[in-house]
Amino acid sequence: MTNTIQATFDELVTVGFTEPTFEGKRPVPAKAKFVLRDPSNKLVASVGTPGYNNSLKALNELLMQTAMAGDPGQHRMFAEAVREPIRILSRYKSWTGTFFAEDPRAWGDDNKIPVDNPIGAAFYSAMDSRPYAITPGVQQYVRPQFFTEKAELNIKWHTIKTVGWNIMARRLEEVADELARRRDAKARGFLVAGVAANSATHVLSNSGNAFLKASIDSLLKLSAEIGWPITQGAINPGRLMDMTGWTNGSSTSLPYFWAPENSREQVYRQLYADAYGNVRWTVSKDIGMGEIWFSGEPEDIGYHQTHGEAQSASAVDIHLMQDEHVIYEDHAFYIGNVFNVWENTITA
Amino acid sequence: MSDVVGFVQIINPNQCEWVPSTAKNAGELRTGHLAKLDSSGRAIICTTGDTSDGVVFNNRYQTYAPTSVYADAGEELSLAQHNVRMLCDSTNFDGNTLPSFGADLYVGPSGLLTTAVSGTVHVGKVVRSAYEGANMDVRTPPGGATNLNNLVEVALHIAYN
């Protein structure tokens, strides 16, 4: 995949990347060749070869060459081509996917899922008596309802010419983040409904505006008791760092005095320790501070159905002088075992 | 979600008479209900005071993968008659209450068994609620040590005359 930046003025500056983007990070090419050409396509400056490995270093060298050339116009042109605005909106971190097993379906498939109906039984009898016959009954199915989420991004041609940096890439990242946020909101609704089905035991609330050791201890015990032990959790990183306040009893006890040494070191370095209760954490700043979600493995919870990857379509509107990009995707969620999801709600 | 309804099992299928029929109305009959036949031989749900023609058994072998346990109008089903023994939990009884050992059973509302006497037709009794002091029970979700569903064994006499 290549990414092209267009600069201001009438000149065209191309900067080529050879690496695709990946979630949460800007394009960081492993190999790059940078060139600066004027409108007549005359080579102004270049650095690197196809084997050049340090792209950022190459970029800086090209910038230096341009600057040393003494042409402020060229320098400014190139600087605007590679200087993007400093982010003020942190990337969205999706978190609900860990609770659902993926179940991709083709368009037109019957998305039925069989429903479990346990009936296995055995009874005391006598040597010459008949057994009690047990017969499986109706195999019921559910068909989760798909929902579609869409986004449209229109980029004016004059915007592309004016801004001088890869604005479309940044705005598309935000679109992708918003699609993920909407998807998570729907999935979270299923988690909420799931724990509500057994709220007396599967929703544990504590006040004090903190993640308490007593809360997770209680949920771990309850889940183990019924045979659906908690193995993973989803939490806001700021909330997870409440571990720094955990003690083991009286206020005179040192925090974590009974914990393994490497756990104490982790708390010292990162304000939380991994693997308490063998819980595997999904950490996302986009989980509210008032909730922590726990569950077993996703294949023992439910399904996330899709119609393949997100689809996109682009068009050019010559009347409005803009490029138009539409992205859409279908999702459905289903929880088959509400006993395998737990919530710790935290209030002030 | 599903409309799986409790635990009801005909435990002596080889000793029953199995009569074919079809459901007259959609969404009315499921396995375990008491049903009666109309003049066209179609099955409709019993209510208090009716004489039952059998206990419904219907596994709904539909190609469209049914989401409900209830039969469609015109859907084939079977009625178990004569000496029918069933294991039931409380969902198969009027009032959702498990009757006690020895209780007489009558045709109740909505195809359920009832212990109420007045104006009802006697169909059987509770013949077992425990064995050697241990409950008749089955495990239920989520599956912990105390997630048990108590059952009773009923003996019914249906459609002998």
- ipTM for the assembly: 0.86
Residue type, A91: R
Please report where in the chains the tokens 């039969």 appear, as a residue: B71
Q: Which residues does chain B have within 8 Å of residue A115's beta carbon, measured at their own beta carbons?
A: 1-2, 4
**Nearest of B142, B2, B140 to residue A230 by alpha carbon:** B142
Q: What is the pLDDT of residue A8?
A: 26
Task: Report pTM.
Answer: 0.79
> Helix A55-68 vs helix A72-82: angle between axes, to the nearest 10 degrees?
160
Q: Which of B95, B100, B128, B135 is nearest to B113 (CA)?
A: B95
**B82-88 mean pLDDT:** 96
DSSP for residue A254: P
Give B119 to chain A, closest Cα distance, Å. 32
Q: Residue B78 carries which DSSP code?
A: E
**Nearest by Cα to B48 from B98, B119, B105, B103:** B119
Q: How far is B121 from chain A (nearest CA, A)?
A: 27
- Give the DSSP letter string of A160-187: HHHH-S-HHHHHHHHHHHHHHHHHHHHH
Mean pLDDT of B109-113: 95
Phi and psi at A7, nearest 5°, equal -100, 180
| pLDDT by position in tens, chain A (length 348) | 333 333 322 233 344 433 333 333 343 333 445 555 555 666 555 554 443 344 445 555 665 666 566 666 666 666 555 678 999 999 999 999 999 999 999 999 999 999 999 887 888 888 999 899 999 999 999 999 999 999 999 999 999 888 878 888 899 999 999 999 999 999 999 999 999 999 999 999 999 999 999 999 999 999 999 999 999 999 999 999 999 888 765 555 445 556 788 888 888 888 898 889 999 999 999 999 999 999 999 999 999 999 988 999 999 999 999 999 999 999 999 999 999 999 999 999
Question: Residue A15 gets which letter from DSSP?
Answer: B
CA A141, CA B67: separation in Å to the nearest integer?
Answer: 5
Identity of residue A276? Y
pLDDT at position B3 is 59
Classify residue B99 by its DSSP letter.
P
Helix (H, G, I), strand (E, B) or coil at B27: coil
Nearest to B59 among A133, A137, A225 (CB): A137
Tell me the residue length of chain A.
Answer: 348
* Helical H segments across B2-66, by residue range: none
Q: Does B4 touch chain A (CB under 8 A)?
A: yes
Q: Look at residue A227 in the predicted model and tell me its pLDDT.
A: 95
- Find the CB nearest A123 among B68, B131, B140: B131
Residues 6+ apart with CB under 8 A from A66: A36, A44, A45, A74, A75, A78
Q: Is B39 at the interface with chain A, CB within 8 A?
A: no
pLDDT number for residue A79: 59
Cβ of A337 within 8 Å of Cβ of B87? The answer is no
Query: Pseudo-torsion of CA A244, A246, A251, A257, nearest 10°?
Result: -90
d(CA A229, CA A106): 33
Averaged pLDDT for residues B49-59: 95
pLDDT band at B45 (very low <50, low <70, confident <90, very high): very high
- Does the pLDDT at position B123 exceed 70? yes
pLDDT score for A291:
98
Of B59, B134, B138, the CB nearest to A121: B138
- Mean pLDDT for B24-48 is 96
Residues B126, B105: Cα–Cα separation, whole Å: 7
- How are beta strands B76-88 and B54-57 bridged, if at all? antiparallel
As a whole number of angstroms, the distance between CA A155 and CA A160 comes to: 7
